[in-house]
Amino acid sequence: MSQNVISLRVSDEMKDRLDQLAAATRRPRSFLAQEALAEYLDRHGWQIAAIDEAVVAAGDGQFASHEAVADWLVSWGTEHEKQPPVAGGAAKRAR
């Protein structure tokens, strides 16, 4: 796998923390920065994909309407608590 060089600006405090961690772990700063970036991308990449899928699903009407969810929530803790609304139970919104 080829590797590319990027540069970024960090505060003095962040650089000092990175230097301390590099010394403590006997790893180069570049290794630690690459590991941190990979973890960040893994952690946040799935969120973007999930949001994109949800937007498509909502556009296709695969969601419970606000009214159905609100009606269900109002029933919580009452003698007549309702079942959770189901996706697609409401009419599609006009586009």
pLDDT value, residue 89: 57
Give residues with Cβ within 8 angstroms of 32, minimum separation 6.
18, 21, 22, 25
- This model's pTM is above 0.75: no
Nearest to 18 by CA among 4, 5, 31: 31
Flag whether pLDDT at 92 surpasses 70.
no
**pLDDT tens-digit readout, 14-49:** 999 999 999 999 999 999 999 999 999 998 998 899
